Amino acid sequence: FFEFRGGAGSTPSWHKSGCAMNKLNSVLDFISCGEYLIDEGYVHRNQLAAHGISAGSLLAAAAINMRPELFHSAILKVPFLDVLNTLLDPNLPLTALDHEEFGDPRTRPFFEYIRKYSPYDNITPGVCYPSMLVSASLNDSRVGAWEAAKWVAKIRETACSSCSSCVILRTDEGGGHFGEGGRFAECREAAYDYAFLMKV
């Protein structure tokens, strides 16, 4: 698997190279990995799917905004998509902690930088986006379900009208940020995801 800059699985310097004012490095790494998989013949161009969970969905969605033609489909789970508004809300439980990772947009330099990659703020009108399954949990205390709903609504409203892709919003009324839990729930979730990828 690939380790993007900003990931916690490597050295502290590697993590810092994809945080705060370096967050775009993570997105560019995500795109580069997709290009590599196609160029090296691991996947055909019309089969590449992006996948992200929580803040990982931020990377996937930002990459899709930058290079929508690169991805055939995407699955985004409990996605962190409205980065600016979320980080500007002190009443949300993870805002202070997320300031350490993404920066504090109450300061102008961070506001301008975050606005460059925040998925909700960078949807391009008239563009054909890949088919996407976006899942949100109504009881999620970490990432509000409204982030996924807003993003899906904006893409549906502004994307290319002649495009054949579909953008599906799926909401879970029972589980929280980590889903319903349990082996059978995980199997159902995986089956739903793979069925979507096979169908599109």
β-strand 49-53 against 131-137: which pairing, if any? unpaired
Check if 177 is active-site.
Answer: yes
**How far, rounded to the nearest angstrom, does the alpha carbon of residue 192 sit from its chain's CA centroid?**
18
Of the candidates 15, 51, 99, 177, the residue annotated as catalytic is 177
Of the candidates 10, 15, 51, 54, the residue annotated as catalytic is 54
Q: Please say whether the dihedral angle defined by the alpha carbons of residues 54, 121, 94 and 179, taken in this order, is positive or negative.
A: negative
Check if 140 is active-site.
Answer: yes
Check if 137 is active-site.
Answer: no
Rounded Cα gap, residues 109 and 157, in angstroms: 30
Of the candidates 29, 82, 98, 140, the residue annotated as catalytic is 140
Burial zone of 121 (CB within 10 Å; 0-12 exposed, 13-18 middle, 19+ buried) = middle
Rounded Cα gap, residues 179 and 18, in angstroms: 27
* Two structure tokens written together for 167: 């953008």
Catalytic residue annotation: 54, 140, 177
